[in-house]
């Protein structure tokens, strides 16, 4: 809102200093600061309200050290994260930008699903919360909205440079260009790293080539569902999900900044996505919200984010990666989420297989998700979280290295 207000004041009244709101860097910095302040100030007040309402976490005894001490810790703290994201974005981002609109919808959509799940657990005293099929249905619904918007919206374009032979390239190889609606993405670690979803099955003839574009929407649904569930599973010990997500968010902010800036895109020889630079403001508000939440969520946690936060942050990360055409980097960038997810899948699958084959279920890990395995080995949860953060930073650096490692 402030962008539109000060743009008007600058244009109509030549207001001194109003032009600074034209700069993404200024607005992104302000969004970060405001999100931190909201999380830290509002967070303390919300915790007191949750304590008065007795919105405490019900803990199942899994035999983990220090686990039962957390009984009664307020949950639904994801409301802090949601507020600390949405308020700065509404204040400092361009609200006529389709990417910003899509991120606001994604945040509210999955935040509501997570809130409903937490509400059922806390107030209806149902430990299972929202039925899994309804969670999946909500994630699929968001996937459809995001997929259809990215597929059909006229403002979702990439810049294609026209070469001498009449062909086009998404990297700056010519002074002549055209902005086109295209379903191309980036393949990591590969030269000429453009992949067009519409050409996936071009080898099978024109019939299959025409239909392959529509595989993009199911793929979007898969990405959003997988990453949001991965964040949800990772949220098991104090500070793990929020800290990991902050690292991922900062990496995506760099990608959004570079992809939306024609000078940097030219220098790095990467795809230029018009208007995507505005996402830098959302990304840094997201980072500020996660870091501000850690003020209360690091060990020993004063509040848990609950599904209100974990489902939302996972969905936000997935949609951001899709918009900046870096979804194929998710297995690297979100490696912590991936490993946590895989540990559960492997544990359950192996247990069922061995029970059928030997008559008793056997386990690969002492407990899944993976962070609980290390707790069972005797590691303190603050040490586990710290080491997971270090691995997350390493994965983020590797992800950024793909800008030049081809």
Each residue's pLDDT, cut to its tens digit, for the chain (406 residues) gives: 888 887 878 777 878 878 888 899 999 999 999 999 999 999 989 888 888 876 666 655 555 665 666 777 888 899 999 999 999 999 999 999 999 999 999 999 999 999 999 989 888 878 778 888 999 999 999 999 999 999 999 999 998 777 666 566 666 555 677 888 888 898 888 877 788 887 776 665 666 666 777 789 999 999 999 999 999 999 989 999 999 999 999 999 999 999 999 889 888 888 899 999 999 999 999 999 999 999 999 998 899 999 999 999 999 999 999 999 999 999 999 999 999 999 999 999 999 999 998 888 899 999 989 999 999 999 999 999 999 999 999 999 999 999 988 7
Between the alpha carbon of residue 194 and those of residues 14, 100, 171, 350, 353, the distances in Å are 44, 25, 9, 38, 40
Q: Which two tokens stand for residue 302?
A: 């004063």
Contact predicate 325/332, CB 8 Å: no
Look-up: residue for tokens 């997350």? 392
Q: Which two tokens stand for residue 218?
A: 């199911």
HSE-CB of 159 using CA atoms within 13 angstroms: 23
61 annotated as a binding-site residue? no
Is 167 exposed, middle or buried (CB count within 10 Å of its CB: 0-12, 13-18, 19+)?
exposed
| Domain ranges (residues) in the chain | 1-154+214-402
CA-CA distance, 150 to 328, in Å (whole number)? Answer: 16
307 annotated as a binding-site residue? yes
Between the alpha carbon of residue 370 and those of residues 206, 240, 338, 385, 398, the distances in Å are 45, 12, 11, 12, 22
């Amino acid at each position: 809102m402030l962008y539109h207000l000060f743009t008007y004041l600058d244009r109509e009244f030549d207001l001194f200093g109003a032009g600074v709101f034209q700069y993404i860097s200024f607005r992104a910095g302000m969004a970060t600061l405001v999100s931190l302040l909201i999380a830290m100030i509002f967070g303390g007040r919300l915790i007191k309200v949750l304590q008065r309402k007795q919105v405490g976490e019900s803990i199942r005894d899994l035999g983990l050290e220090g686990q039962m001490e957390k009984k009664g810790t307020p949950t639904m703290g994801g409301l802090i994260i949601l507020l600390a994201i949405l308020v700065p974005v509404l204040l400092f981002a361009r609200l006529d930008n389709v990417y910003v609109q899509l991120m606001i919808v994604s945040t509210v959509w999955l935040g509501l699903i997570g809130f409903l799940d937490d509400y059922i657990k806390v107030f209806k005293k149902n430990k299972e919360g929202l039925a899994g099929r309804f969670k999946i249905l909500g994630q699929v619904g968001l996937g459809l909205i995001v997929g259809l918007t990215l597929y059909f919206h006229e403002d979702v374009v990439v810049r294609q440079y026209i070469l001498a032979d009449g062909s086009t390239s998404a990297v700056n190889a010519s002074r002549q260009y055209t902005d086109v609606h295209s379903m191309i993405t980036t393949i990591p670690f590969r030269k000429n790293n453009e992949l067009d979803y519409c050409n996936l099955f071009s080898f099978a003839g024109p019939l299959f080539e025409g239909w392959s574009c529509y595989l993009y929407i199911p793929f979007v649904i898969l990405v959003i569902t997988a990453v949001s569930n991965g964040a949800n599973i990772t949220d098991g010990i104090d500070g793990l999900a929020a800290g990991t997500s902050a690292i991922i968010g900062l990496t995506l902010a760099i990608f959004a900044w570079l992809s939306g800036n024609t000078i940097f895109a030219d220098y790095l020889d990467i795809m230029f996505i018009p208007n995507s630079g505005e996402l830098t403001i959302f990304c840094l508000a997201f980072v500020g919200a996660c870091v501000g939440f850690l003020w209360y969520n690091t060990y020993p946690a004063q509040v848990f984010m609950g599904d209100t936060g974990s489902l939302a942050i996972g969905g936000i990360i997935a949609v951001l990666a899709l918009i900046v055409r870096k979804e194929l980097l998710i297995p690297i960038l979100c490696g912590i989420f991936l490993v946590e997810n895989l540990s559960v899948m492997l544990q359950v699958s192996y247990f069922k297989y061995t029970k059928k084959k030997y008559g008793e279920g056997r386990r690969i890990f002492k407990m899944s998700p993976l962070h609980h395995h290390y707790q069972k080995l005797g590691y303190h949860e603050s040490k586990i979280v710290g080491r997971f953060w270090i691995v997350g930073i390493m994965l983020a650096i590797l992800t950024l290295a793909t800008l030049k490692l081809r």
